[in-house]
Copies of this chain bind each other. A is one copy, B any other.
């Protein structure tokens, strides 16, 4: 494996009782996943944990060791249930400190909207010692990066702004390329072909994603590879096989 073959991985911890209660539908898993693809970083695992310090610490320590990057969403606001900074600092074995630049950002922001930087708002300047800030144009409160751990907001449009600020800043590898072939055929008719084509192309994976739409069943077959050439060869084998067996298919997916 050459350096350029390295597969860069990330994990994501979604922090929040509101996701585990079903009250809020998570939108961050999908947006972080899609963003990472473009950075050439593979999302290897996601954990959703409650607002409990020991649970967050455990997940942070398990996942930061196993991956090149660890992202968290949620729990960096001004209220008593926002404990992500404390938990990450505990996991990293460093104290929590007020970041002077974060304090200055918050002072400017609250001055601009004629509000006071009270004690609760000042909580949002707290970081694990040694951390850098990730700008947030939406609300003044920054995201936080310390080593390979990146703390982002839980509110999806603020998370999006922080991802935007990180775009192109994290080292990654070759992006995973994908092609999709759709078929109005039950996946169980095509299962043997899929397995054979995947086995014949060892640098590619084929996922089969069945659906039920307009009263009919079908499936999308997603072929993934970091090599454009291998991907094309695998797609060609699959479409040749589908044609040979008499299955109609739609390049690009259904």
Binding site for B on A (CB under 8 A): 14, 16-27, 29-37, 42-51, 55, 77-81, 115, 118-121, 123-124, 138, 155, 157, 176, 178, 186-192, 194-195, 198, 205-212, 222, 224
Given the complex of chains A and B, what is the CA–CA distance between A104 and B151 in angstroms? 51
Query: Contact: B34 with A22, CB < 8 Å?
Result: yes
Considering the chains assembled together, what is the distance between the CA atoms of A224 and B36 in angstroms?
Answer: 35
Question: By the criterion CB–CB under 8 Å, are B79 and A18 in contact?
Answer: no
Write out the residue numbers on chain B whose beta carbons fall within 8 Å of the beta carbon of A80: 191, 194-195, 198, 206, 208
Query: When the two chains form their complex, are residues A121 and B209 in contact, meaning their CB atoms are under 8 A apart?
Result: no
**Are A30 and B34 in contact, with the CB atoms below 8 A?**
no
| Contacts A17-B207, A30-B25, A33-B19 given; does A45 touch B47 at CB 8 Å | yes
Please tell me if the beta carbons of B55 and A188 are within 8 angstroms of each other in the complex. Answer: no
Q: Is the interface of A mostly helix, strand, loop or mixed?
A: mixed
Q: A79-B195, A120-B188 are in contact. Are A210 and B155 (CB under 8 A)?
A: yes
* Distance in Å: Cβ of A242 to nearest Cβ of chain B: 14
Once the chains bind, are B51 and A188 in contact (CB under 8 Å)? no
Bound: A230/B7 CA distance, A: 51
Q: Name the distance in Å between A250's Cβ and chain B's nearest Cβ.
A: 16
Contact across chains for B50 and A21 when beta carbons are under 8 A apart: no
A55/B45 in contact, CB under 8 A: yes
A121 neighbours in B (Cβ, 8 Å): 188
Q: Pick the 7 closest A-B CB pairs, nearest first.
A: A120-B191, A22-B33, A22-B34, A46-B48, A78-B188, A80-B195, A79-B208
19 A-B contacts (beta carbon < 8 Å):
A14-B46, A17-B224, A21-B34, A21-B37, A21-B178, A21-B224, A22-B31, A22-B35, A25-B30, A45-B48, A46-B48, A47-B48, A77-B210, A79-B191, A79-B208, A80-B194, A81-B207, A81-B208, A123-B191
Residues of B contacting A46 in the complex (Cβ-Cβ under 8 angstroms): 14, 19-20, 46-48
Q: Is the CB of B22 within 8 A of A37?
A: yes
| Complex interface: chain B residues within 8 A of A189 (CB) | 118, 120
A208 touches B25 (CB 8 A): no
- B19 lies within 8 A of A29 (CB): yes
User: Nearest-CB distance from A121 to chain B (Å)?
Assistant: 4
Given the complex, which residues of B lie within 8 Å of A45, measured CB to CB? Answer: 20, 47-50, 55
State the CA gap A151–B78 with chains docked (Å). Answer: 39
Query: B22 and A30: CB pair below 8 A?
Result: yes
